[in-house]
Chains A and B, each alone.
Chain A
């Protein structure tokens, strides 16, 4: 079945460490997105990519980086510059005017 796979499900980061969240889709969608979800704040856009080798900052890009080397993959790196990374991270994709599809999320915790 087509869909979005996010891994790992849970991730723990030590202070000063960079960590990378994986997002893979087999829907043949052009556009991919990363959102952050915090309690009481709703979902906020971190980065998005419309095509391979191109991506744009969203509303809260500081402390994060992405790459889009393949259509199917859009990994997110949470760098040490992100001072409050504990959150639930969701990856999404869509094609044209069709609806968005979301992955099952990665919960990142600072230890």
Chain B
């Protein structure tokens, strides 16, 4: 059964720093990986979707990489801002039509 782990569970940094969030998964037979952002009490907002044939995907200050062979993905946030404070979730498709398997997330706080 697919398992997804996110490290660190929580992170607090000063504004302006570049930072890396990590995601690992146990079954490398995935066809894509998706990063989400969740603000308190809100739904999930999709940030980046990386197909298995890609190694990177970029959107503004966000860059996500995927290494299927090692079962890892990283989300890089450049020049962090207080508005980036949220929980970041990594998810991969389960077997067949079982939806997504999620990590428990990284709770990020950017200090002004």
The answer to whether A33 and B43 have CB atoms under 8 Å apart is: no
Count class of interface residues, chain A: 20 to 34
How would you classify the secondary structure of chain A's contact residues: helix, strand, loop or mixed? strand
| Segment at the interface with A among B17-25, B30-38, B59-67, B70-78 | B30-38
Count class of interface residues, chain B: 20 to 34
Cα separation A92 to B41 with both chains bound (whole Å):
16
Q: A42-B104, A42-B105, A107-B41 are in contact. Are A101 and B98 (CB under 8 A)?
A: no
The answer to whether B46 and A99 have CB atoms under 8 Å apart is: yes
B11 — which chain A residues lie within 8 A by C-beta? none
Cα separation A107 to B105 with both chains bound (whole Å):
19
Instruction: Tell me whether B102 is interfacial, beta carbon within 8 Å.
Output: yes
The answer to whether A45 and B98 have CB atoms under 8 Å apart is: yes
Cα separation A102 to B49 with both chains bound (whole Å):
14
- B34, B41, B89, B102: which contacts A99 (Cβ < 8 A)? B34
Cα separation A40 to B45 with both chains bound (whole Å):
19
Instruction: Tell me whether B44 is interfacial, beta carbon within 8 Å.
Output: yes
Q: A42-B104, A102-B44, A104-B42 are in contact. Are A97 and B98 (CB under 8 A)?
A: no
Interface string of A58-101 (1 = CB under 8 A from B): 10000000000000000000000000000010101000011111
Closest to B9 in A: A40
Q: Which residues of A contact B (CB under 8 A)?
A: 6, 31, 33, 35, 40-43, 45, 48, 50, 56, 58, 88, 90, 92, 97-105, 107
19 A-B pairs within 8 Å (CB atoms) are namely A6-B43, A31-B97, A40-B104, A41-B104, A42-B102, A42-B103, A43-B100, A45-B98, A58-B99, A88-B41, A92-B44, A99-B32, A99-B49, A100-B34, A100-B46, A101-B46, A103-B43, A104-B43, A105-B41
